[in-house]
Amino acid sequence: MPYFLWSPELSIGIKEIDLQHKSLIQAVNALYDAFQSEEGERDLSWIIHFLANYTVEHFATEEALMERIGYPRFNEHLRLHEELLQQVGAFLAKFNAGTAGISEDLLEFLKQWLLVHIGSEDKTLAKHVRGL
């Protein structure tokens, strides 16, 4: 059983974004697996960097869509993305300096953030798109 299980309730009904969410969840699972196994330690760095870069790419996809349709909650949604990227950036700076490591708290934070964000903001965006 994966650490973070995709379920149909997480689908927002926009194919490109759903696929990206699945990839993000897979990357969180890869990070969890590497964290759990001793041999996985050498993989932690590239996985966390991949996850951070992919998150930037994914947010850019959503933000481009919001701009294209003149989404009324654009600023609020953007602020949530930027807050997370700031937190991730601060963590990576410490990780790269060797003063912070991957932890269960970090994994749980990422999982909960995605669950809440997809379930609220992303679904609200998708609902708006369907109503256009």
Q: Which residues bind Fe ion (CB under 5 A)?
A: 62, 122
Judged by CB, which is closer to Fe ion: 18, or 62?
62
Q: How far is the CB of 45 from Fe ion (least distance, A)?
A: 26
Judged by CB, which is closer to Fe ion: 45, or 74?
74
SS3 content of the chain, % helix, strand, coil (to 5): 80, 0, 20
69 near 127, Cβ under 8 Å? no
Q: How far is the CB of 41 from Fe ion (least distance, A)?
A: 31
Residue 62 C-beta-side C-alpha neighbours within 13 Å:
31
Q: How far is the CB of 58 from Fe ion (least distance, A)?
A: 8
